Structures are given as C-alpha cells and as structure tokens.
Structure 1
Amino acid sequence: MGTVTEHERTRAALAGAGSRLGELLRAVSDPDAASGVPEWTVGDVGTHLAAVYLAYTSLVSGDGAMDWGDIPPPGGGTFAERITAINERSLTLFERERRAEVPDFIAEQCETFLRVTEGMAPDAPVTPPWYEEVPFTLATLTGLMLSETLVHGLDVARGARLTWPIGDEEARLVLGQSMPTMMAAALDPVKAKGVRIAFDLAIKDGPSLAVVVDDGTVTVTRDAPPRVYDCRIVAAPATFLLVSFRRTPIWKAVATGRMRAGGRKPWLAMRLGELVVSP
C-alpha cells in the first residue's frame, strides 16, 4: 500500500484502539492491581497512557499544554535514561484521587490528535524533545502512539484480568510506521560497539526491514534492495511487536511457530534483542 494509504489506516487503527482503551480502563475494578509492567499498578499504566496522549497531542497542536523545558532529565542522558525518567514523570499527571478521569481524558486527547493532524502529510517533521537520536515524522508519531496504546492496553488487561486482543493488521501498521525509527533510536551503542551484523526482518504479509548494525551504529531500511544478510527473522506481526516490547518471551514465539530464524547464521537472531534498549 502507498505511504498515504498506510498512514490513513494507522490513523483509523488509532481511533479504534483509543476507543477500546477507554472501555478497558472503565472496566478496571481494582486500579491498584499489579500490571504487566514491573512496579506499576494498573492505575499507573493508565496514567502513563494519559501522559503519552497529552504529550503527543501537544507536539502537533502547539497549544502550550506541555512545558518541554524540564521534561528530559538534566544533561540529556542516554536514550534509556531519558525514557525511564520521562516514564516516571508521567505517573504524576493525575493524582490517585483523580484517576477516574483518565479514560475521558485519553478519549479527548485522541480526538484532538486525530483532528489536528487530519490532512497533514505523513512525512511532516515532528520533534519530540526526548528523542534526540533520529528524525521523527507524523507517521512515526502516529504509529508510536498506536503501539503505546496496544502494548500498554495489554499491560492493563493482564493486571485487570480482562481481554485485550492485538490484531496482526494493527501490529503491521505499527511495525511499518514507527518500528524503523524506534529501532534506530533504541540501539545500545555500547553493546553494539565492534558488532557488524545484517538482519533481514520479514513480517508476515507486512513490511520487510533491513537492520544493519555496524560498529556502534545502525541503519534500518524498509523494503531495502536485495543484499546478503547474516540472519533472516520471519515473524507474525503481533508476535514480533510483543517480543520487541518484552511482553512475550522469544522462546514462546519460536515454540508456537510464530517466529523463526534462518540465513547463514540463524543463531544471531538473539543478538537483535540484546542490541536494542527496552526501558
């Protein structure tokens, strides 16, 4: 599908997932229950999502709702340090006694984001101050917003013992729109020092990503021209999304046949997860 068509489908998927998220959060009976995120309760995850929606909407609306001056930690820090600090700050958006407002707040922010960005070009530049490593576009931001909704919705559902399906089509859109940028941003340059590996990541019925690690740097190219790879990874979309965010162990994905490795050096597949940071 074309760039504009895929972006529009991502917007539609975000609208649907955002609506489902509101229903999920309203169905939570115990916000203090442990969630799928270590040390966070179900209520914490909901508050984090509210902060995510506010931050991303503020980036494109220019409404001044966020003061970006003191959001990233002093001195910048590494990618992992910045994201960890921002995640912790996100929990302060709503006091515990106001967390019942979170579902409506998320719905409002989602509607605003989609309304403000309607008609904008997918490649319109966006500059999140907490991502310094790579350039962002509106398509990247929309895909990342969808991934936050899907993955953290699962964290809430697991803690609240509710259902939260993630469809392969939704996952394909995330992997095509935001994964190339996020993989490049999240490379651990220390672990990648001296490493030279070319991965061919093939998503079933979806995008193909060439991930080339070269001595502390990485390039991620979607639908790249043919070349020689060290390792080929074939995965179902939703499975790869959850493995990428450490919500499903890779052994389980392999055992169920939803992920497999091949190529000249299939054992290198495990290295990809080690080289990419997951705060």
Structure 2
Amino acid sequence: MGAVTTFDPVSEHEKTRAALAAAIPRLARLLREVPDLDAPAGVPRWSVGDVGAHLASVYLAYGSVVTADGSLDWGGILPPGELPFVERITALNATSIGLLDGEGRARLGDLLAERGETFLRGTKNLAPDTPVTAPWYGPEPTLTVAVVTGLMLSESLVHGLDIARGAGLPWPIGRDEASLVIGQSMPTMMGLALDPAKARGVRIAFDLVVKGGPRLAVVVDDGTMAVTRDAPPRAYDCRITVDPTAFLLVSFRRTPIWKAIASGRMRAGGRRPWLATRLGELVATP
C-alpha cells in the first residue's frame, strides 16, 4: 500500500507563510506590468482587472477574519439565505469584483501588497491550529490559520495565472508551492465543497499520492467526505498519483484533466482505476 509519511504542521505552516510572502510581491509586480486591465482574463466573463479586484477583496476578507477586527460589515456583503456551497461562493465572487472603485483598480498592485502584508503581520504570532471563522463559507465551518494561509496562497497562485494568461505574461507555479496548497487547505476544503447530491449512495476510498508532497486518504461515504493526511494503512478502491502543480490546476479547472493525463502528470491505479475521474465530479467548483 506504500509508505505512510508524516509531516510537522508547524514547519509546513511556516513554509506556507514563506511561500505566500514570496507570492505577494510577485503578484503585485504582475499587476503593475499588466498593459490593459480590461483585457479578458483566464476566467470566463471576468477581465484582468476583475480578477485583481476579486483578489483584493479576498485579501481584505481573510485579513479581517484572522484579526477579528470587525472592519467588514458581512451583513451587507454575504448573499442572503442558506445557499449551497457553489451558489454561495459564486454569488460572493460576483459581489467581490464590485467592491473596488476605479481609483482602487488603478493601484491594484500596491493594494494587494499592502493587504497581503497586513494578513502576514496579523497571523505572525498565531499558532497554525488557531480557529478562524470564515462567514462566506456559511455559519458552521471553522477553519484554522493554517488552512486560511493555504487558501491565501492558492488564491494568489491560481488567480495570478488567470491575470497572466489575460495579459500574456509568464506566471510559473512551482511544485513546492502547489504541494503546500494541497497539504494545507485541501483536506478541509474538499469536504466543504463536496456535492452531497452527487455523493449520495457513493462509497469510494481514494489514495491521493502527490509526488514529493502530501498523501491524502479521501473517503466518500454516502454523501459525506473525509480527507485525512498520514492515514493508517487501509484498502483503497483507487490510487491517484499526481504532479502537484497539475493537480492544483485540474482541481481549479484551469487545466483539463485529459491534458494532465496525456502528459503523464496524473495517473490512476489500484483495484478500480476507472473511478479516478469521479473525484473531480464529486467536489464542486464555483
């Protein structure tokens, strides 16, 4: 079944913070180099400026919740009612791009640098397992500082790619960066993003092996999903071995899965390898 690795949550959190600290100025430079903020981005219906405005809102939101400073009026931002995960995040994303006026968009690079540094300062002395409530995911989920830092890194890397694609500029995503996102945020977020209707009656155990990175046991059981790092040995239905960058981009629908498979960066094995594509079908994406 393969060796079970272990990780040091404190050390990995510090590595994630360092990766985020490196990504923020790189992202700020990218936005300063964008020739046309109105150019279509690598996201349907969004311009490059829209993606930058969304990121600015994300940075502000996470900075607000980790410091609990009450600087945001969530009642005027969150969508009304109790919506399913994808509908809730889709509605909030649409709101986020309108929270910045023209003057703010004109200084997106500086704004992201300022808000990113605010987040890093506010979390500097917080333990990785410090609980954080993110109201946009609903009233129940409580994340941790480690998860939120991983989410900040994932937003920066993936949306940086969206901006770069729209602007025709380079934006490499390293394997180590992608591995940190997968290990820090995905064990929590995959379960939150599960489509319960599609998962009803489904029972599959996936062994997700990230090359040079974490190993996750992803167990779907009749409408629920549990994702565990360093899980004890068990029988799996399907083993999925992935390059971390490829898996990150496939997970966020930035690269088609067939391309990752054709290039050898994702492959399936185990007793029922044909189930590999079910994982992406079960986890919803806004």
TM-score range, shorter chain: over 0.9
Q: For residue 54 of structure 2, what is the amino acid of its counterpart? A: H
SS of the residue corresponding to residue 200 of structure 1 reads: strand
2:46 maps to 40
Aligned to 1:184: 191
* Structure 2 counterpart of 1:225: 232
TM, length-normalised to structure 1? 0.98
State the Cα deviation string for residues 152-201 of structure 1 (Å, max 9, x = none).
00000000000000000001110110011110110000111111111110
Q: Which runs of 5+ in 1 are unaligned?
A: none
Asked if structure 2 preserves the Cα contact closer than 8 Å seen for 1:134 and 1:184, the reply is: no
* Post-superposition offset of 1:101: 1.7
Q: Which residue of 2 aligns with 1:24?
A: 30
CA distance in 2 between partners of 1:115 and 1:97 (Å): 25
User: CA offsets per residue over residues 109-167 of structure 1, 9 Å max, x none?
Assistant: 11111111112100000000112364310000000000000000000000000000000
Give the distance between the partners of 1:66 and 1:93, measured in 2 at CA.
12
Give the partner amino acid of 2:166: G
Question: For residue 155 of structure 1, what is the aligned residue in structure 2?
Answer: 162
1:87 corresponds to which of 88, 93, 96? 93
| Correspondence for 2:4 | none
Amino acid at match of 2:186: M
**Please, which moves more after superposition, 57-66 or 244-253?**
57-66
Paired residues for 1:1-279 under 5 Å: 1-132=7-138, 134-279=141-286
Q: Within 1, Cα distance between the matches of 2:40 and 2:103?
A: 18
How many percent identity over aligned positions?
68
1:238 aligns to what SS in structure 2?
helix
- Could you tell me whether the CA contact under 8 Å between 2:187 and 2:216 is conserved in 1? yes
Please tell me the residue identity of whatever aligns with 2:238.
C
Distance in 2 (CA, whole Å) between partners of 1:90 and 1:111 is 20
Q: Give TM-score, length-normalised by structure 2.
A: 0.95
CA contact (8 A) 1:134 1:181 kept: no
Consecutive unaligned residues of structure 2, counting only runs of 5 or more, are 1-6
**Contact 2:179–2:244 (CA<8 Å) still a contact in 1?**
yes
What is the aligned-residue RMSD (CA, Å)? 1.0
In structure 1, C-alpha distance between the alignment counterparts of 2:68 and 2:224, rounded to whole Å: 33
**Deviation for aligned residue 1:97:** 4.7
- Residue type of the partner of 2:193? A
State the 1:61 CA deviation.
Answer: 1.9
- In 1, Cα distance between equivalents of 2:146 and 2:245: 19
CA distance in 2, matches of 1:218, 1:114: 31
Preserved CA contact (<8 Å) 2:209 2:239: yes
Q: How many residues of Structure 1 are paired with residues of Structure 2 in the alignment?
A: 279
- Please tell me whether the aligned partners of residues 204 and 236 of structure 1 are also in contact (alpha carbons under 8 angstroms): yes
Go from structure 1 to structure 2 and tell me whether the alpha carbon gap of 1:202 and 1:134 turns closer, same or farther (over 3 Å shift): farther
Provide the secondary structure at the position in 2 that maps to 1:76.
coil
Please give the secondary structure, in 1, of the residue aligned with 2:254. coil
Range with bigger deviation, 16-25 or 88-97: 88-97
> Does the Cα contact within 8 Å between 2:134 and 2:142 map onto a contact in 1?
no
Give distance in 1, aligned partners of 2:234 and 2:82: 37
Aligned equivalents of 1:229, 1:197: Cα separation in 2: 8
Give SS of 1:190's match. Answer: helix
Distance in 1 separating the partners of 2:76 and 2:276: 38
**Cα distance in 2 between the residues matched to 1:97 and 1:119:** 33
The Cα offsets for residues 38-86 of structure 1, whole Å up to 9 and x where unpaired, read as: 0000010000000000000011122332111233211121101110011
Q: Per the alignment, do residues 177 and 43 of structure 1 end up closer, same or farther by CA in structure 2, a change over 3 Å counting?
A: same
